[in-house]
Structure 1
Amino acid sequence: MKPLALAGMGSYTVGGRPVVVDGRERQTVSLSAGLAGIEHDPNGRYWVEQAYVQYFVPHARRFELPLVLIHGGGLTGSSWETTPDGRPGWLHAFLAAGFEVHVVDNAERGRAGFCALPGQWAGEPIVRSEEESWSLYRIGDAADYGRRMPFAGQRFPVAFLDELTRRTVPRWLGTVDAQRRALTALIERIGPCVLLGHSQGGGFALELAARRPDLVQCVVALEPHGDFASIGATPLDGRRALAVFGDFIERSALWRNLLGNAQAVLHAWRGAGGTADALWLRDEGLVGHSHMMMMDAGSELIAERIAGWLAGAAR
């Protein structure tokens, strides 16, 4: 790993809302072996639905606009830090390229924590199983999961699948609007910026860029999905978008449908006056990449292609 010199780093939280609890009974709890029989009062003022953000400023900064990395569904900002097999992740790659980088743990994910207060979030949390990840991320056919037999030419480090599973976290299906609000608060805090999102995070990035072109200079979306109804409602003159796609999409009916939706989004973006590009990795000679392209073998080459695109788009 090439060493990096940082001019600064830190963290902050954005978004969320206060909640006041009252009328609940006190409880006697054991906080640890040495703190048994402690009286806990659950009443009081709390804060929920905030996002946690960690930022890094390279010493050799070459881009004025900060880059925000937005993780996918059921994942956290760790997606960008280190690959499952221990290689430097895209956080390192974009710092080396000269970007100030802000890594998000969105509301109810990772270090943003989750809301333990009753009655605030509807429903029960769900978590993605390893079997579901195998198929959904296009690592291999569902029937081949038991043998850990990936698609021929697949670049995901299958020997470290357990590490990806350990990074998968619970998610609540009713917190999508809270996550949107947190990301909006983020860009309002840092000002003009560049967004790069993966999967659900790619959908958020496109939505946010389309709603707030005053703050988002350009956006990169890795195989995005989401609610794109608002794209085109605001003029996008001079705003650029890049959607990035890996391989094996033809093996999945779900991903064939999501691809069609993503292509419609790019069309709507152009219709609103923006510039929208599609980057097929195989057309760049980067074959065999899964939905988790930032973790695949050779992922640093994908980051290089994106950084090159951003060099022209993030002026």
Structure 2
Amino acid sequence: MVDQMYVHYRIPAQASRHTPIVLVHGGGLTGASFETTPDGREGWATYFVRQGHPVYVVDTPGRGRSGFDATPINQAKKDGSTGALPSNVLMVTAELAWTLFRFGPAFGTPFPDTQYPVEAMPAFGAQVVPFAESLLTNVPMDTVPNSLAALLEKIGPSVVVVHSLSGPFADALVGIRPKLVRAVISIEGSQSIVPTDAQISAYAGIPNLELFGDNLDSASFTGRPRFNARKAVVGRINRVAGGRAEIVTLPSVGIRGNSHMIMQDKNNLQVADFILDWLRARLPEASQ
């Protein structure tokens, strides 16, 4: 069974005591979304390394470079039956991503202030992969948090950055390995699964930043509905003794025009600096 998780690591050339950063991609994507931008600029993976942090970029089990389990397809071909196959294997098209990821209000029409490099959409399309994890026996909520926990057991306590669909993976990871999570940074994290009371309690003492871009009131469900859902999670965390959660929209700190793909927007390194400053303020030892 293919439940293993691909990890690409980069370690600063000079010996560093900086806390490792683990980057976990969103739906329909792979770790490549952190490695570069569609128009060829530097991604967060190498930028954080140049700021002194060991960086680990994952492709979650069943996705991208982690491979997938072809057994259901081969068995269906052998038996002449599709009964064992999932009803569909999703894939995010450029047209769907345009509004879903808040590049603009309608396909082909960008928001006037968008920071996303819409001129490079064909290159963005080349980064999109199928949700092949639907072919795995174990569902992602079973496999991914455990795979991330196994990674942290090898590399030590780390800052975990999740994006979109991977948002609930951070909640589950904190629930099972709170001592190995130094901080959680959720980039427009999904609220498809509401964290349990036990997971909320496990956040005690762990800094948590929920970060959102601009144009949240567009039609996309990645906007205001998701913001409100994660805001409720922040409130729950902060009602726990030692809760240290915050929710921030980038316009509120003077950074404007960001899409759902914040790590690829034209101001992505400005946002990276905001994240690093946030970490230094809450984990001074993380940058030593």
Q: TM-score surpassing 0.5? A: yes
Equivalent pair of 1:109/1:171 in contact (CA under 8 Å): yes
- The SS at the match of 2:230 is helix
- What is aligned with 2:66? 112
User: Structure 2: which amino acid aligns with 1:216?
Assistant: V
In structure 2, do the counterparts of structure 1 residues 61 and 228 end up closer, same or farther at CA, with 3 Å as the change threshold?
A: farther
Equivalent pair of 2:170/2:184 in contact (CA under 8 Å): yes
Give 5+ residue unaligned stretches, structure 1: 1-46
Equivalent pair of 2:61/2:68 in contact (CA under 8 Å): yes
- What is aligned with 2:239? 271
Residue 159 of structure 1, CA deviation = 0.5
Residue 199 of structure 1, CA deviation = 0.7
Is the counterpart of residue 131 in structure 1 residue 91 in structure 2?
Answer: no
Equivalent pair of 1:211/1:230 in contact (CA under 8 Å): no
Is the counterpart of residue 237 in structure 1 residue 237 in structure 2?
Answer: no
Is the counterpart of residue 78 in structure 1 residue 32 in structure 2?
Answer: yes
- What is aligned with 1:199? 164
Q: TM-score, normalized by length of structure 2? A: 0.86
In structure 2, do the counterparts of structure 1 residues 235 and 203 end up closer, same or farther at CA, with 3 Å as the change threshold?
A: closer
Is the counterpart of residue 250 in structure 1 residue 214 in structure 2?
Answer: no
- What is aligned with 2:140? 176
- What is aligned with 1:217? 182
- What is aligned with 1:55? 9
| Counterpart-to-counterpart distance in 2, 1:303 and 1:231 | 31
Higher relative helix content: 2
| Counterpart-to-counterpart distance in 2, 1:253 and 1:128 | 14
Higher relative strand content: 1
Equivalent pair of 1:61/1:100 in contact (CA under 8 Å): no
The number of equivalent residue pairs is 265
**Among residues 241, 252, 255, which one is paired with 1:283 in the alignment?**
252
| Counterpart-to-counterpart distance in 1, 2:17 and 2:170 | 19
Percent same amino acid at aligned positions?
35
Residue 297 of structure 1, CA deviation = 0.7
- Greater RCO between the two (CA within 8 Å, min separation 6)? 2
| Counterpart-to-counterpart distance in 2, 1:204 and 1:237 | 17
Equivalent pair of 1:231/1:269 in contact (CA under 8 Å): no
Give 5+ residue unaligned stretches, structure 2: 76-83
**Among residues 100, 120, 132, which one is paired with 1:160 in the alignment?**
120
Residue 253 of structure 1, CA deviation = 5.5
Q: TM-score, normalized by length of structure 1? A: 0.79
Who wins on radius of gyration, i.e. which is larger?
1
In structure 2, do the counterparts of structure 1 residues 48 and 173 end up closer, same or farther at CA, with 3 Å as the change threshold?
A: closer
- The SS at the match of 1:154 is coil
| Counterpart-to-counterpart distance in 1, 2:111 and 2:16 | 39
Residue 121 of structure 1, CA deviation = 6.8
In structure 2, do the counterparts of structure 1 residues 183 and 123 end up closer, same or farther at CA, with 3 Å as the change threshold?
A: farther
Aligned alpha-carbon RMSD (Å): 1.9
